[in-house]
Amino acid sequence: MKVKNYLPRISDTLLLNKLRHSGAVLITGPKWCGKTSTALVASESVVYMQDPDKGSAYMTAADTKPSLLLEGSVPRLIDEWQMAPVLWDAVRFAVDQRQDFGQFILTGSAVPADGTTMHTGTGRISRLTMRTMSLFESGESNGSVSLRDLFNNKTPVMESSELTIEQIAFAICRGGWPASVRMSGTDALELPRDYVDAIIHQDVSRVDGVERNPKRVQLLLRSLARNVSTMATNVTLLQDMEGDEKSMSAPTLDAYLNALRRIFVIEDQPAWSPSMRSKTAIRTASKRHFTDPSIATAILRATPKSLLDDFNTFGLLFESICTRDMRIYAQANDGEVYHFRDKNGLEADMVVALNDGRWAAVEVKLGNKQIEEAASHLQELARKVNDEKMGKPSFLMVLTGGEFAYQRKDGVLVVPIGCLKD
């Protein structure tokens, strides 16, 4: 189906690949990230469960004979399927009966409550996570350095990025929301604020019908924003909130965090646990991240100018946008993004691990002054990892906000975020 003003996504290819070998594909991710548009491009018919004119009729059909909603040209898109969780089992059953691939696409911006579906869908329904747009998808990275090429031992010749520090600050505050990417100037900065307002007053309670205190939600989001790109514990979050909210217990905090995960607002970065040459205690705590860094700037009321005036905050948010982009690029290469830190403080901001066993370590530095130290840390990590069990790293990279991409004499790559793509 045609979608007006559609901006091509890396997920387009991933979705088509999954449809070729799965009866149905479930696309999950934060609302407004472009799931429906991407699904529509690959679909031949659609049911909008949130259609104000037909929604009540669709819900009645779901309650009485859900198979009626599955009739139509395939792939058939069922948008926001979680409004009628019975559709999950109906799709699973239909796939079993039809014995064919590419029948349905399901999109959803929330995970249904436990127990609302009978079956997992394993073997019938494949899953695809969508995120907001990477800098390559929004046209701000020129894509001259490919993650796939790096894993295939193709090192970049001298490349350059035209993305300035000022433009990076703007991209962080604007976010990768397709609607905001199509806007210009200060208008593009308003959508993330509207998104945060909806989280606080509607979405976090609507996900499971449990009323949650908007003030508490706001304070929690603010604490998460202040601790973005760190391994802040739940205790740290509670202490950070204590100045304004003394009554939140640890179980309540867990419930609020789980609600935010279920609507894809937060996506923590898990720790990597490699085999090491010596007995080294590895930190297992996850790093705190929002699905898009603009959520943090919106809750903090930060602007591109205020980031430029506060390079500590800017650096943490720069790591967050790099993590978002690397997750998108790694997914296109059948990989995931972790972080590493041992008891002695040796760390890598990102470890990209592909499912075929290849891996690479990445340090994120906004400016050029810290490249030497970052390269040294990466080499030390590579020496400590047991390469007989883990294999040697495919590459070591310092990901920067700078201008030039090149390979240092020690083999470490220096790559601007404005050059990277999948």
Residue 3 belongs to some domain of the structure:
no
**In a shared domain, residues 286 and 396:** yes
Residue 134 belongs to some domain of the structure:
no
pTM: 0.95
- Convert 165-182 to b/e letters by CB count within 10 Å (16 or more is b): bebbbbbbbbbbbbebbe
The secondary structure of 360-419 as a DSSP string is EEEEEESSSTTHHHHHHHHHHHHHHB-HHHH---SEEEEEESSSEEEE-TTS-EEEEGGG
Residue 139 belongs to some domain of the structure:
no
Query: What percent helix, strand, coil does the chain show, rounded to 5?
Result: 45, 20, 40
Encoded tokens for 261: 């995960």
Residue 15 belongs to some domain of the structure:
yes
pLDDT of residue 380: 96
How many CA atoms does the CB half-sphere of 395 hold within 13 Å?
Answer: 24
**In a shared domain, residues 288 and 402:** yes
Q: Enumerate the β-bridge partners of residue 369.
A: none
Residue 138 belongs to some domain of the structure:
no
Whole-number Cα distances in Å, 144 to 162, 362, 412, 422: 11, 18, 17, 10
**In a shared domain, residues 173 and 74:** no
CATH at 118: 3.40.50.300
**In a shared domain, residues 204 and 304:** yes
Category of 301 on φ-ψ map: left (φ > 0), alpha (ψ -120 to 50) or beta: left
Range 72-89 average pLDDT: 95
How many CA atoms does the CB half-sphere of 331 hold within 13 Å?
Answer: 21
**In a shared domain, residues 61 and 177:** no
Range 98-127 average pLDDT: 79
pLDDT at 118 over 70: no
**In a shared domain, residues 86 and 154:** no
DSSP-H helix ranges across 230-345: 234-241, 250-262, 293-300, 304-308, 311-331
**In a shared domain, residues 106 and 183:** no
Between CA 13 and CA 17 the distance in angstroms is: 6
pLDDT at 117 over 60: no
**In the 8-state DSSP scheme, what is residue 133?**
P
Residue 86 near residue 112 (C-beta atoms within 8 A): no
pLDDT tens, 275-322?
Answer: 988 877 888 999 999 999 999 999 999 999 999 999 999 999 999 999
Q: How far is it between the farthest Cα atoms of the chain?
A: 68
**In a shared domain, residues 223 and 305:** yes
**In a shared domain, residues 104 and 159:** no
All residues at 6 or more sequence positions from 77 whose CB lies less than 8 Å from its CB, including other chains: 36, 39, 40, 43, 45, 46, 47, 104, 105, 106, 107
Between CA 281 and CA 271 the distance in angstroms is: 12
Q: Enumerate the β-bridge partners of residue 421.
A: 146
Residue 33 belongs to some domain of the structure:
yes
Highest mean pLDDT among 8-17, 337-346, 364-373: 8-17
For the CA atoms of 71, 77, 82, 83, the dihedral, rounded to the nearest 10 degrees, stands at -70
**In a shared domain, residues 279 and 154:** yes
The rounded Cα 332 to chain-centroid distance in angstroms is 13
Tell which of 129, 162, 188 closes a domain.
129
**In a shared domain, residues 49 and 182:** no
Range 364-392 average pLDDT: 94
Mean pLDDT of the chain: 93
Domain that holds residue 94: 10-129
Tell which of 82, 103, 129 closes a domain.
129
Between CA 142 and CA 418 the distance in angstroms is: 6
Tell which of 69, 104, 129 closes a domain.
129
Residue 5 belongs to some domain of the structure:
no
pLDDT tens, 232-258?
Answer: 999 999 998 876 555 688 999 999 999
Residue 135 belongs to some domain of the structure:
no
pLDDT at 114 over 60: no
**In a shared domain, residues 236 and 381:** yes
pLDDT tens, 169-206?
Answer: 999 999 999 999 999 888 999 999 999 999 999 988 88
pLDDT at 225 over 90: yes
Count of domains observed in the chain = 2
The secondary structure of 136-192 as a DSSP string is TTTT-S---EEHHHHHTT----SEE----HHHHHHHHHH-S-HHHHT--GGGGGHHH
Between CA 283 and CA 303 the distance in angstroms is: 33
